[in-house]
C-alpha cells in the first residue's frame, strides 16, 4: 500500500490554493517527490502561458494580474467580466433604462479615466483571459500602431499595408492603449469643436484609426480602447464627430473612477519608510 505524504496527503500542494484555480506563484507545493513533480509541471505551463502573453504584446508587468484585483461591483469591472465570460457586454445603464435588452450584442469597450487609474491593467487582464480561452489577441499602444500602419505604405516597408492592417484588423481581440495621444495637442474644456483642420499627419492617424475601428465593427471583432480622454474631450481633440459617433453607437463607454494608484502606492511607501525610520530611532 502506498504511503501518504503527511504534508500534502498526496495532492502535491499544501493548503486550499490548488494549481488548477490559482496562479503558480500563489500555490505552495509540497517538497515530497509528487510535490516537486507537480511544481515542475505547473512551472512549465506558467512559462508557456507567459510566452503567449508576450507574443500578444502584453508587457510582463501585467502577467500576474487577475480580475480579483478589482471590486466587481463597479460598472466598468462588470463590463470587463462580461466581455471575458460572454464575449459581449451587457451595459448595465442601458439595460436598466430600457434602451437596450440584456441580449445586446455590443462587444467593444472604451475605458477612460485619469492617469494611474489602472485602465491598461484592466484591458490586459481581459486579453490574458481571452488568450487562456484560446483567442488570438494583440496589445498595442495606439499611437505606435497608427505609425506602423502609415509606415507600411512606404516602399521600404518590410510588411505591406494590407498585411499590417489585417494583422490588427482580423485578430480576435485587439487592445489599443492610450487612444488620444496622437491627437492631443491641447484641450480647452469649454471650447466648441474647432472648425480649423488638424494637421496633415494627425489627420492621417485619425483616418487610419477610424478605418481600423470600422473594419472590426463590420466583422464584429471585439476591441478594447483606453484613454485619459472622455468622449467629449476626444471629440474636441480630433475636431470631428466621425470617430466618436462610432464609439457612441457600438461601444460600451465606461469611465474608470479609480484614484491614481501610482500616487497611492507612492504615498503608502513614504508612510512605511517614515514609520520604519521612527522605529529605528527608539
The predicted structure's pLDDT at residue 73: 80
pLDDT of residue 156: 75
Q: Domains in the chain, start-ordered, CATH in brackets?
A: 13-55 (no CATH), 61-262 (3.40.50.300)
Residue 45: C-alpha distances to residues 12, 25, 63, 207, 248 (Å): 16, 12, 14, 41, 40
pLDDT of residue 190: 43
Mean pLDDT (the chain) is 82
pLDDT in tens, 75-115: 888 889 889 988 888 766 666 676 666 566 689 999 999 88
Quick one: what percent of the chain has pLDDT higher than 90?
A: 38
Does the pLDDT at position 174 exceed 60? yes
Query: Measured on CA atoms in the order 141, 147, 152, 153, is the torsion positive or negative?
Result: positive
Residue 258 pLDDT: 56
For residues 244 and 240, give the distance between their C-alpha atoms in angstroms, rounded to a whole number: 8
Neighbour count for residue 177 (Cβ, 10 Å):
23
Name residue, grid cell 480576435: 172
* Residue 203 confidence class, pLDDT cut points 50, 70, 90: confident
pLDDT tens profile 235-267: 888 888 889 999 999 999 999 875 555 444 545
User: How sure is the predictor about 231, in pLDDT bands with cuts at 50, 70 and 90?
Assistant: very high
pLDDT of residue 105: 67
Confidence of residue 279 (pLDDT cuts 50, 70, 90): low
On the question of pLDDT at 188 being above 50, the answer is no
pLDDT tens across 7-52, in order?
Answer: 888 888 898 888 877 777 788 999 998 888 888 888 767 667 778 9
Contacts of 90 (CB under 8 A, 6+ apart): 82, 102, 103, 104
CA distance 178 to 111: 10
Report which of 177, 67, 74 is spatially closest to residue 119, judged by C-alpha positions.
Answer: 177
**Mean pLDDT, to the nearest integer, of 128-156?**
92
| 263 or 133, greater pLDDT | 133
Amino acid at each position: 500500500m502506498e504511503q501518504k505524504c503527511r504534508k500534502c496527503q498526496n495532492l502535491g500542494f499544501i493548503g486550499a490554493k490548488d494549481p488548477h484555480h490559482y496562479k503558480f506563484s500563489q500555490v505552495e507545493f509540497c517538497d515530497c517527490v509528487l510535490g516537486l513533480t507537480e511544481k515542475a509541471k505547473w512551472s512549465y505551463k506558467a512559462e508557456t502561458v507567459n510566452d503567449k502573453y508576450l507574443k500578444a504584446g502584453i508587457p510582463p508587468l501585467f502577467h500576474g494580474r487577475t480580475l480579483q484585483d478589482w471590486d466587481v461591483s463597479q460598472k466598468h469591472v462588470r463590463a470587463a467580466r462580461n466581455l471575458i465570460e460572454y464575449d459581449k457586454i451587457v451595459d448595465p445603464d442601458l439595460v436598466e433604462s430600457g434602451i437596450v435588452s440584456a441580449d445586446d450584442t455590443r462587444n467593444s469597450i472604451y475605458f477612460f479615466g485619469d492617469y494611474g487609474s489602472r485602465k491598461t491593467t484592466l484591458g490586459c487582464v481581459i486579453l490574458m483571459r481571452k488568450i487562456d480561452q484560446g483567442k488570438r489577441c494583440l496589445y498595442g499602444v495606439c499611437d505606435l500602431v497608427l505609425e506602423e500602419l502609415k509606415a507600411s505604405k512606404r516602399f521600404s516597408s518590410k510588411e505591406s499595408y494590407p498585411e499590417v492592417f489585417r494583422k490588427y484588423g482580423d485578430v480576435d481581440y485587439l487592445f489599443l492603449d492610450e487612444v488620444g495621444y496622437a491627437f492631443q495637442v491641447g484641450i480647452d474644456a469649454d471650447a466648441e469643436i474647432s472648425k480649423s483642420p488638424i494637421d496633415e499627419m494627425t489627420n492621417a492617424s485619425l483616418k487610419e484609426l477610424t478605418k481600423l475601428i470600422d473594419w472590426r465593427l463590420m466583422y464584429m471583432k471585439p476591441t478594447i480602447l483606453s484613454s485619459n480622454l472622455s468622449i467629449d474631450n476626444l471629440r474636441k481633440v480630433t475636431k470631428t464627430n466621425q470617430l466618436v459617433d462610432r464609439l457612441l453607437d457600438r461601444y460600451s463607454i465606461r469611465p474608470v473612477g479609480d484614484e491614481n494608484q501610482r500616487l497611492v502606492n507612492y504615498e503608502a511607501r513614504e508612510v512605511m519608510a517614515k514609520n520604519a525610520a521612527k522605529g529605528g530611532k527608539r
